[in-house]
Amino acid sequence: MIVPLQGKGLSFHSFLSVSLENLVDNCNKLLEKFHYSWEMMPLVLVILNYAGSDVDEASRKIDEGKMIINEYARKNNLNVFDGLELRNSTRQYGH
């Protein structure tokens, strides 16, 4: 089975395609690399699709996204692991 991919600047009906087996293998590589659970498969698939099924490009995109989130969290004193609650904040509530 051939699955059409949408990569950088490519339309959905692009000539670029990859076999389903290769797509699943590439998704598995990314899941293992980033220690993601199977629930992350749809997101990884979208990122991989955007990267034209290039595992290295998809890895860079994931790393870039993680850096952006970490920088935002740092600047806004947020912790993504506790529901984005403010931590060690000097903000006063109701005063």
For the chain, the domains span: 2-82
Cβ proximity of 33 and 59 under 8 Å: yes
Residue 11, token pair as written in the block: 């339309």
Superfamily of domain 2-82, CATH level 4: Ubiquitin-associated (UBA) domain (1.10.8.10)
pTM comes to 0.63
Confidence of residue 15 (pLDDT cuts 50, 70, 90): very low
Check whether 95 has a pLDDT greater than 80: no
Spatial CA neighbour of 47 closest among 37, 35, 61? 61
pLDDT value of residue 13: 41
SS3 19: strand
pLDDT value of residue 12: 45
pLDDT value of residue 74: 83
